Amino acid sequence: MLPPARARAITILSVSAPDPLEVTDIVSSDPALATAVIRASNSAWSAPRTAVHAVDTAIIRIGPKETLQIVGAAVLNSTFEELELAGLNVEDLWQYVVATGLLTEYLLEPDAARDVRAAAYSAGLLHDIGRLAMAAEDPEAYGRVVSSYRSGTSVLEAERREFGAHHTVRGVEAAEAWGVARPLHGAILNHHDPLEHLSPLALAVTRATQIVWRMGIGDGVRVPASDEEREGLTAEDEWVLSKVGGADALRARVEWFRGAMRPDRDEAEDELLVS
């Protein structure tokens, strides 16, 4: 189970018009979330003239939508720690899920329902939550999944052998335990299914993962081929990426989020940030 503030954060992340006061209350009540938001507001990306130390001021500076996106990433980061013990490339995995989350909205059809559009970032961010849960539950077993994949076994087959189910099924179990909105469950469960069988949200998530992969970002287990061997971005990929300023802008935004999570200050400075 998640701590109350983090559970509320995951719930509100998919709300189309969240209450700003509730957002502030959620962030303020969890030190890890507060520190991440304040760090983000003081980063070079936010172009600060002066440093801020209060949550409400930080939210105003970076905006409510970006605040919730950073908070969602911070929940994952602070809940699933030391995943490298399972043999995962944590930096790749982290970039992969955040980039997928940021792209998913732009792969929905223009007439997508408001609630579907509101859930897009959450669906992309959380689509591989089952992998995180497995790796945290039994790092040694998931390490064998990684080793099996590198020996030629598919990831899904190796997961079934080690855990009795693959990460999409475990992902739905985790989503239910976390109180994740039910419309997101299909994107978590079905993102490896054939495209023609997917719901609009699951399809958008799957297409986002494909673009992120072609950008050269691995999913923590699989590593893209070298630049010379990898299938490059298509014209359609480039068009989608143009909506977020291009591939380099997306990478920079992901790094902004990641910088908010890194312990790049000592504990005394972090206490000052959230005081």
User: Are residues 75 and 95 located together in one domain of the fold?
Assistant: no
Write the pLDDT tens digit of every residue in 107-121: 999 999 998 999 999
Q: What is the mean pLDDT of residues 118-147?
A: 96
- Name the domain count of the chain: 2
* Per-residue confidence (pLDDT) for residue 216, from 0 to 100: 93
Average pLDDT over residues 7-21: 88
- Which is nearest to 69 in space by CA: 269, 257, 272, 271? 257
70 with 119, same domain? no
Residue 154 in this model has a pLDDT that exceeds 90:
yes
**Domain check: are 145 and 272 in the same one?**
no
Classified as helix, coil or strand, 165 is coil
- For residue 140, the domain's CATH number is 1.10.3210.10
pLDDT classification of 148: cutoffs 50, 70, 90: very high
Q: Supply the pLDDT for residue 15.
A: 85
In the predicted structure, residue 217 carries a pLDDT above the cut 90: yes
Rounded to 10°, the helix 200-214/235-242 angle is 110
In a shared domain, residues 240 and 257: no
The answer to whether residues 88 and 172 belong to one domain is: yes
- Do 102 and 203 reside in the same domain of the chain? yes
For residue 263, the enclosing domain spans: 1-79+249-275
Reply yes or no on whether the pLDDT at 267 is more than 70: no
Residues in CB range of 128: below 8 A, 6 or more apart: 93, 96, 97, 167, 171, 219, 220
pTM confidence score: 0.90
236 and 106 in a common domain: yes
Per-chain mean pLDDT for the chain: 89
Does 226 lie in the same domain as 95? yes
Q: What is the pLDDT of residue 269?
A: 41
Domain co-membership, 173 together with 269: no
Calculate mean pLDDT across residues 39-66: 87
Claim to verify: residue 159 and residue 256 sit in the same structural domain: no
Q: Is the pLDDT assigned to residue 3 strictly greater than 60?
A: yes
pLDDT number for residue 226:
66
Tell me the average pLDDT across 72-93.
Answer: 93
Note whether 32 and 108 are same-domain residues: no
Q: Please state, in angstroms and rounded to a whole number, the distance separating the CA atoms of residues 13 and 118.
A: 8
pLDDT for res 196: 82
Report the alpha-carbon distance of residue 104 to residue 240 in Å, rounded: 10
Same domain, 165 and 55: no
Whether the per-residue pLDDT at 40 is higher than 90: the answer is yes
Q: What is the mean pLDDT of residues 206-227?
A: 90
